[in-house]
């Protein structure tokens, strides 16, 4: 629930700012309801967020690896 939601929020933040603003409260409610309804533990949400940050950082490094600036240094 958390990982894919964060991926979609990040995409919207970068490409459609208005959609990001509209989706943010709904996603926050999703995060809270996931805990409240006991579908996941808090540590599962934390793991999803950490995995998202690690994948995003790795993906950005991978994208930058092929750029002209990265090749010249």
**Cβ count near 33 (within 10 Å):** 12
Structure tokens at 10: 């990040």
Quote the pLDDT of residue 38.
87
Classify residue 39 by its DSSP letter.
Answer: S
Confidence of residue 63 (pLDDT cuts 50, 70, 90): confident
pLDDT digits (tens, 9 = 90+) for 8-48: 999 999 999 999 999 999 999 999 998 999 888 899 999 99
R_g over Cα of the chain:
15
This prediction has a pTM of: 0.76
Four-CA torsion 22, 28, 34, 40, nearest 10 degrees: 120
Give yes or no for a contact between 13 and 20, defined as CB atoms under 8 angstroms apart: yes
């Amino acid at each position: 629930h958390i990982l894919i939601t964060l991926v979609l929020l990040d995409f919207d933040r970068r490409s459609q700012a208005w959609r990001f603003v509209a989706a943010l409260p709904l996603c926050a409610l999703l995060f809270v309801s996931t805990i409240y309804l006991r579908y996941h533990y808090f540590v599962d949400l934390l793991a999803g967020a950490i995995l998202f940050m690690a994948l995003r950082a790795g993906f950005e490094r991978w994208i930058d690896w092929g750029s002209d600036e990265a090749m010249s240094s």
